[in-house]
Amino acid sequence: MDRLVGTVAVVTGGASGIGAACAVRLAAEGAIVATVDIADGVDYVVDVRDEAAIEAAFADVVGTHGRLDAVVHAAGVAGGGPVHLLEQDEWDRVVDINMKGTYLVDKHAAIHMLAAGRGSIVNISSIEGLEGTEGGSAYNASKGGVVTLTKSMAIDYGRKGIRVNCICPGGIDTPLLRDIVAAPGLECYRDAMRDAHLLGRFGRPEEIAAAAAFLASDDASFITGHSLVVDGGFTAGLQVGLLEQIGLM
């Protein structure tokens, strides 16, 4: 497909997982892609909490390529726990990276897009930004903030030619998820989480990247303020095995 030929895009979190898959997919569809991450191997080694560094990276992309058409903001971290056991430093870390980082990336993307009168911003949130989960606390709060910020920005910038959407993935087989479930004793949690997806598996980063490419492209030209759930049926409802029990499946 060549939906993004001529498009200049920035992808944060581009060193691994969903961000890396988004960078590959956007490039495969013809976009010029600049990647951002705190890890090596990307175009801009930047902490998304560092406003001066984010501002400089966007300015360099526009200075080099003459435009900024799309941003996929995938940088984020996991973390949380029951609130009464959660240290403030951990709360601050998760909320700063996931929520403040989204604000800063979106802010400096919007500045350049406003000057051009066009653009598409795709934030990566989570199904945990739409509903509570056990021990979610800081992560859920931060991702819920991403959903609401996305809607607010869609309202603010829609008539300026800028679309702002987010994707809410279910459990995706990334290094982040593997780290969460790798601790001894969490094997049953991993299996229960996987089985809660009606398709019976975790998603692949490439499946989120496909959704991001769609939202970034003109195929989604009448979509803004939307939270696109890509979760293998996780949030569709409860499956308890009734149909199997009565012999209908």
Instruction: Show me where the domains of the chain are located.
Output: 8-231
Residue scoring higher pLDDT (238 or 124): 124
Contact 36, 43 (CB under 8 A): yes
* Residue 178 confidence (pLDDT): 79
Assess whether pLDDT exceeds 80 at residue 205.
yes
Confidence of residue 191 (pLDDT cuts 50, 70, 90): confident
Question: End-to-end CA distance of the chain, in Å?
Answer: 38
* Residue 231 confidence (pLDDT): 97
Assess whether pLDDT exceeds 90 at residue 146.
yes
Confidence of residue 159 (pLDDT cuts 50, 70, 90): very high
Contact 36, 224 (CB under 8 A): no
pTM of the model: 0.94
- What is the percentage of the chain residues whose pLDDT exceeds 90? 83
Assess whether pLDDT exceeds 90 at residue 3.
yes
Residue among 103, 139, 157, 189 flagged as catalytic:
139
Q: If you ran DSSP here, which 8-state letter would residue 98 be given?
A: I
Mean pLDDT of 210-226: 98
Q: Which tens digits make up the pLDDT trace of 87-133?
A: 999 999 999 999 999 999 999 999 999 999 999 999 999 999 999 98
* Residue 187 confidence (pLDDT): 72
* Residue 245 confidence (pLDDT): 83
Residue of 155, 18, 4, 139 whose CA lies nearest to 73: 18
Q: Encoding tokens for residue 49?
A: 């909490």
The DSSP element (H or E) to which 44 belongs, if any, is strand 44-45
* Residue 15 confidence (pLDDT): 97
Assess whether pLDDT exceeds 70 at residue 183.
no
Assess whether pLDDT exceeds 90 at residue 176.
no
Catalytic residue check, 139: yes
CATH class (in words) of the domain with range 8-231: alpha beta
Who's near 64: CB < 8 A, 6+ residues apart? none
* Ramachandran category for residue 77: left, alpha or beta (phi over 0 → left; psi -120 to 50 → alpha): beta
Look at 92-96, 169-173, 184-188, 223-227 and tell me which has the smallest mean pLDDT: 184-188
* Residue 219 confidence (pLDDT): 98
Residue scoring higher pLDDT (11 or 186): 11
Q: Which tens digits make up the pLDDT trace of 54-100?
A: 999 999 999 999 999 999 999 999 998 899 999 999 999 999 999 99
Q: pLDDT averaged over the chain? A: 94
Q: Report the alpha-carbon distance of residue 196 to residue 97 in Å, rounded.
A: 28
Residue scoring higher pLDDT (186 or 133): 133
